[in-house]
Each structure stands twice: as C-alpha cells, then as structure tokens.
Structure 1
Amino acid sequence: MKATTKRPTSRIKRLHNYVLKLNIYGDESDSTLIDQLLSTRIFLLLLFLLLLLIIVYIILSVQTHSVTIQSPSESTFTQLSQQYPSTLSCPCLHTSIRHDRFLSLNPLYHPICTSRLVNQSFISLLSSANVSEYHSKDYRKMATSHFQILGLLCRTVRQMIDDSLSELLSQHFTTSEVVSNETFNAQMNHLVEQLKTTNIANIKYISDFLWLNMFYNAILSGLKTNFYLKYSNAGTMDYNFYSYFDFSNAKCDCHRSIDCTAQAAITKLVPSNATVNPTTAAQNPVKLFSISGLRVGCLPYSSLLQSTLECFFKQSCIDRIQKYLPALAFVSPLSVHSRFHQKATVKHLLDQLFIESWNQINNFTAYFQSCSPHSCTYSYDQRFNILYVIVKLIGIFGGLKMVLKFSAPLIVKLIRRVQTCRCISEAIDKNEIPVQQSELFLFIPIFIFYFT
C-alpha cells in the first residue's frame, strides 16, 4: 500500500520539477537563466489561458454548415423540407407550369341537376297540359316553368364553372424554387377558393339582376299569376287587377312584391256544366292536398327560389302528384346522398352553385416532376462540434505560439524595467543605499517567483 501511494506522488513531483526546469529560451544568450525561465512560464501560462478562452468561445459559438444535394428525389425533398424548412432552397429547372399539370377539379352536382326532372323530354311532356285551366295556386300551373327554370339554372351554373375551370387550369403556376407540400396545397386551395367565391358572386349578381328587372319593370307573367284580366259587368276589360297569396297568415299582393308565395297544392276543377262563371270558379278552387316544400307565387322564378325539393326525394310524394301530372311516372326519386338538407331551398342550392363536392386533387408529385430541381441546398447551425474545435485549434495554435514566444521575453523585460525604476526611486527617497547598489534588488522577485 505504501508503494502504491508513493508512485503517483513521485510522478507528480517529477512533473513539477520538469515544469520548473523547462526552458524554451535556452538558445538566447542576451538574457539570464532566470529571465529565460520566467519567460517560459509566462509563455505557458498565457498559451494555456488563451487556448482555454478560444476553446470556450468556439464551443459556445454557433457554426453554420451548408450542404448541397444533387438531383434530389421527392422523398428526399420532403424529408429536408421538414427538417430544414427555413434554409432549404431547391431552384426549379422549369419555373412556370400550367395548373392542369398538377391540379384537377371534377365538380359533383346536386342530384336535381342530373335527374330526369330537368330533362327536356320530361319538360316537353309537362308542357303539353293546358295550364290556363288551373288556378294560380295549383302547382300544375307552374310545374313546367319550375322545371324549365331549374334546368336553366343547372346548365348556367355548369357552363359558368366549366368556363372558370378552363381559365384556371390554363394559367401558370410560377415559382423559382420548389415549395413544400404544405405550401403547395395551401396555394392550390386558395386558388380554388377564389374560383368558388368568384362564381358564387357572379351567380348572385345574375339572380339579383333578374329579380330587380322583373320587379321594377312589372313584367307580366304569361301564366297570369301576378296580373290577370278581368271582365267587368259591362263587358269591358280592366288590366289593373293583380293576384294575391296568403303569406304568414296575411295577404300579400303581387303589385307590392313579386316574392309573394303560398304553399303549392293540387286543386279540384269546377265541372264544365257548372252554372257559375268559369273565371270565378278558377279563382275559388277546392284544394285537394298540399305539396310539401313547393311554393307557388307571383312569378315562377321567385316562387321556385323559395321552394324546397323535399317532395322529389320521396317516392310516396311523387306517386301522389303523379295522378295529376302523368309525366312524373318516368321520374325516380332524387338520391338522398347529398350534403344539402332535403328541406334546403332552391335559393340556397343556387347560392352554393348546386355543387355537392369539387373533387379537388392536388398532385404534388406531378408538380415536383414538372419543376425538376437540379439541386437542393440547405444549411444548419451547430453549437458544439469536436472536429470543428480541433481543426480551429490546429489552425490557431501555430500563429498563437509564435506571437506568445516573441511576446513573453518582452513582457519580462518590461517587468524588469518597472521593478528597476521602482526600486531605485524607493532607495533614493529613503537614503538607505547608494544608486550603484540598487541593482541587487532586481534578483529578489526572481528568487521569490522561482521558489514558489
């Protein structure tokens, strides 16, 4: 045990003696041995402190590293965009790409727009009936006009959207660098949202224009549902009579508003051999039953917008009307798979462009292939890298060693001069020793430094 404890002590002692005797200025003849040893110790101390400070600075400082990858794949780009979203740069070979290369839209319309109800052959069968025989509140009077308008609205919306899609898909997507998948999808979704907003605004403009045109011009309906002719007792005609409809338990007349509506119904006609005037009979029909959702009113257009299509989703409702509208025998109920409620008004459907879904597909793979980036460059910051620290120290050590080796003797000489001047001035002030003996005091700090 004693031999084991003495070994480290003896090694430390030998190392201490080696450091005390170390002299890197032994080849200098113009300085004493003590100055050479003192210069060596100053050199080693400064070298150690400066290297320590440099190491701490390098470790705490942030190093930026730049990496370039040639011909990156989509998976590589996706991985890099997730790891280095702020520094990744992948210049495109083709900076302008048509939207139809990577964007597709296939709108799915409400079942009414693809049903037989808006088919021209079905409408032709409905139009064969003599509507003048029915009262204005009888749905048979407006049925043909309703389905004609529905078909026209569906075709108008479809054509409007097809034109907008053709214009959108023919435009170019311009990017100097590949954008991330998230950014790509966000920009495509923004373009499609703009398309939706524009078309909704356009169809609303058309609808408002029609309403204002019909209202302010007091257009006379060919079905005589808003204004009608009435013979006076003298046999003359008066054009100023207008229809009215029960609306919210109150009478609404078409002279004041074209939005007056009432629930559609099937009415019973007065027999031809009745003694009353046919015109009077037509004005006072007997209601057989009401049709849920459907409205009749001053004009077919305004009453259709306030109607719902809930009756045509049910076979029982269609069968009930079919007795009075035989053309419905060729009609099947509308599909119940719709994002719209069955009681949604036609106006709401029109405001939403009759579209169930846009079926938008953003093909990022096609976009990436069309862009064809030839390289990707990214950078990252690293705070501690042992290899970087070693390389920096190797680069700094040579120059630092040379500067300190040259500076240490100068520091010693400066210390000597300061001590000489101080000792001489103190001796003269105290009159203890003559000036020529003052040089003896120069060796005192050297011995103290050496033995400590």
Structure 2
Amino acid sequence: MSVQTNLDSLSTIYEYHALKDFLIIRLIYHEVCSSDFIQQSWIEYLYDEQSITNQNYRAVAAAQFQVLNYLCIIADGTIQESLVQFYSTKFITNDFIPFSLFQTQTDSIVDIFQKTLSQTFKRPFEMTQDLLQGNSLMSVFQTNWKFTVLKTSSWSPIYTNPMFYNQTCNCGTSSKCTEPVFINNTLVDGLYIGCYPVETMLQSSLQCFYNQTCLQMILSYFGELPKNVTLRVLSVSNQYGIDETIQEMVDRLFVDQWIINQSYENYFLKCQPTYCTYSYIEYFNIFYTVTMILGLYDGLTVLLRILVPLMIYFLFRIFYKTKISNCPLTQ
C-alpha cells in the first residue's frame, strides 16, 4: 500500500511577511574586485603623466584600471541597494503553503530579482556611454579625438581630428574602435587600447593577470614596482574562464555565485497558522481489497446470525396472533 501525503494549513486572513524573514541571498564576487589590480597603489604605479596624450598602453593603463575599480564599486552598490528593497518585499499568502510550493515560489522570486538587477545596472550605464559618443565628447587622454594646430598665432583655431584604430576604425563614427596592446613587439593577451578607456576596458579581459610571466612583461614595461605595491596573480579557479571580457563580468555585476538560503521553518514560525488539516490519498492493492471484502463478509455473517432468529421469531408471533384473531368463537 502506497501513501501520498499533503499538509494543508488554513488561515482566516492574508499573511504578510518580509522576504528577509526566511530568504537570505549571499553573493560571491569575482576575485578581481578584491584584488591588488583595483587598488589605488596599482593605479598610481601605472599613471604616467608624460605619456598621457600618446597613443599607447602606457598612456591609458591607469585610466582603464580606474574604470575597473569604479565598475566594481558601482556594481556592489547597485546590488546592496537592490537587496534592501528585495528584503523588504512582502510575501503574501492567504493559506499556509506546503514546502514544495514554498520552494517553487521563492525560486521564482529570486530568478526575477536576478534578471531585473542586471537591467537596473545596465540601462543608466549604457545611456551614459551613448551620451558620450553622441555628443562627441573628447577624452582627456585624446584617445578618441586629437587636437591639431595648423599654425601658431594669438587667434589660431585649434582643430580636432578623430583617432583611428586598426587603421580603419574611426572614433568619430564609433566609440568601440580598439586595437590590441603590444609590448616590445609582443602581443599582450586580452588587453586593448581604443577610443574611450571605459569602452576599451569593457572589451578587454584579465587573461594576462592570471599569468605571472605575462604580468612580469607589463611590470618591465612600466618600471620597477614601488615598495608599497604588492601583486598576486588571479587564481584560475574562476568558473567563467580566464578569457572572459569585462563586459561579460559587468553583465552579471561581477557575481560569480549566488547562494540562496531558504528557510521553510522560519516561514512556518512567522505565519503561525490558525489550524492544520492533514490529508492523504491511499491506493488499494488486491490483497488489501480482498481482506476488506472478507472482513465485511465475516461481519455480515455474524450480524445475520443474530438478526435472522429474531426476524423469524417476530414473524411467527405476528402470524400466530393473526390466526387467533380470525378463528370463530365456539357455541
């Protein structure tokens, strides 16, 4: 005999409870957002004021890692603000729901939160990028437009000309123009220079910073590290791969892992249902059915043994009384 059970608890009013009472989200961020490569000491080490307007990696490296630092900070701030709103959201039920339904509903709530969270961050970020390009705003590093002086005099006009990357991509028409970084004629994996430090960093990856040899090549290009700067390469345990672009990291707000803790016990304690009913569905097998029939038969046999003699007795009494009443009186 198999038995399927359900727990149905009823409440006479709607229950309102904040999600934080029984649903907690913990996030594990990408390692880079806590690494040496977004620290101010590293950014200052890369900054070279003498090369600020040159079209090379030395001119823009500091700005690119400053962008990466800001992206980590903004992503974390967006997540924390959204979590405050998420935890204050009310979970409303008019009945105390079973565990399976509780798990399904909370999973759906978390899934919607994950999708809307990414859009919350991306929309204003993409709008800012479009405004920069649409208004042809000039980068302080002159990486998208460059000043051109035709002649020198008191009132000489200064012209700006768009920069080109990979010889054909024009920053006047696209903000996404880039070209790979070469150090001493050696290609540096994952690094680019381009029109804007933000756009360029988004298209870059951190592939080089997982490799000590590649990192050493960058250090030799910029010179000796100050004593207050310590560097450790990134670990290769990242589940998304070392060639993942910064844009892909931004799309998931640098979150490597979501850890969802759902507590059905806390939900039960918070709801405090008025009363409970327990129901079950029982499936009969042939042996149980036969046993039930035999049991009924035995019970019926005993009942008839008691009732039949009584019925015969009462029938005879009725018959006897009727016969006497119809018999004529003797003279």
TM-score range, shorter chain: 0.7 to 0.9
Q: Which residue type is aligned with residue 223 of structure 1? A: F
Q: 1:382 to 1:191 in 2, by over 3 A?
A: closer
- Aligned partner of 2:265 among 349, 355, 365: 365
Instruction: Give the superposition deviation at 1:337.
Output: 1.5
SS of residue in 1 equivalent to 2:9: coil
Partner of 1:84: 5
CA contact (8 A) 2:32 2:38 kept: yes
CA contact (8 A) 2:164 2:177 kept: yes
CA contact (8 A) 1:131 1:223 kept: no
Partner of 1:220: 138
- Give me the whole-angstrom Cα distance separating, in 2, the residues matched to 1:110 and 1:294: 18
Partner of 1:292: 189
Partner of 2:237: 337
Q: Which residue type is aligned with residue 89 of structure 1? A: D
Partner of 2:82: 164
CA contact (8 A) 1:313 1:335 kept: yes
Q: 1:194 to 1:340 in 2, by over 3 A?
A: same
Instruction: Give the superposition deviation at 1:114.
Output: 1.1
1:316-368, Cα deviation, whole Å (9 max, x unpaired): 11111112334595221112111211111111111111110011111222222
- Aligned partner of 2:28 among 96, 108, 126: 108
- Greater helix proportion: 1
SS of residue in 1 equivalent to 2:234: coil
Gaps of 5+ in 2: 316-331
CA contact (8 A) 2:192 2:204 kept: yes
Partner of 1:303: 200
SS of residue in 1 equivalent to 2:10: coil
Partner of 2:246: 346
- Give me the whole-angstrom Cα distance separating, in 1, the residues matched to 2:283 and 2:186: 81
1:237-256, Cα deviation, whole Å (9 max, x unpaired): 5423221010xxx5111111
1:262 equivalent in alignment to 2:179: yes
- Give me the whole-angstrom Cα distance separating, in 1, the residues matched to 2:64 and 2:225: 14
- Give me the whole-angstrom Cα distance separating, in 2, the residues matched to 1:257 and 1:376: 66
1:115-142, Cα deviation, whole Å (9 max, x unpaired): 1211233323433x21536631x21211
Q: 1:315 to 1:134 in 2, by over 3 A?
A: farther
1:154 equivalent in alignment to 2:72: yes
1:414-447, Cα deviation, whole Å (9 max, x unpaired): xxxxxxxxxxxxxxxxxxxxxxxxxxxxxxxxxx
Q: In the TM superposition, what are the counterparts of 1:133-148 in structure 2 within 5 Å? A: 135-136=54-55, 138-148=56-66
Instruction: Give the superposition deviation at 1:372.
Output: 3.2
CA contact (8 A) 2:178 2:195 kept: yes
CA contact (8 A) 1:92 1:175 kept: no
1:185-218, Cα deviation, whole Å (9 max, x unpaired): 2211111111111111122212321221111100
SS of residue in 1 equivalent to 2:265: helix
- Give me the whole-angstrom Cα distance separating, in 2, the residues matched to 1:192 and 1:153: 23
CA contact (8 A) 1:99 1:168 kept: yes
- Greater strand proportion: 2
Partner of 1:195: 113
- Aligned partner of 1:323 among 208, 220, 224: 220
- Give me the whole-angstrom Cα distance separating, in 2, the residues matched to 1:122 and 1:345: 20
Q: 1:133 to 1:362 in 2, by over 3 A?
A: closer
- Whose Rg is larger? 1
SS of residue in 1 equivalent to 2:221: coil
Q: Which residue type is aligned with residue 110 of structure 1? A: H
Gaps of 5+ in 1: 1-81, 267-286, 407-452
1:378 equivalent in alignment to 2:279: yes
SS of residue in 2 equivalent to 1:239: strand
1:373-412, Cα deviation, whole Å (9 max, x unpaired): 4422325467865578969xx8xxx9xx99xx99xxxxxx
TM-score (norm 2): 0.78
CA contact (8 A) 2:4 2:280 kept: no
Stretch moving more, 224-233 or 108-117: 224-233
1:69-127, Cα deviation, whole Å (9 max, x unpaired): xxxxxxxxxxxxx8234xx4212599322211211111111111111211233323433
- Give me the whole-angstrom Cα distance separating, in 1, the residues matched to 2:49 and 2:150: 25
1:252 equivalent in alignment to 2:169: yes
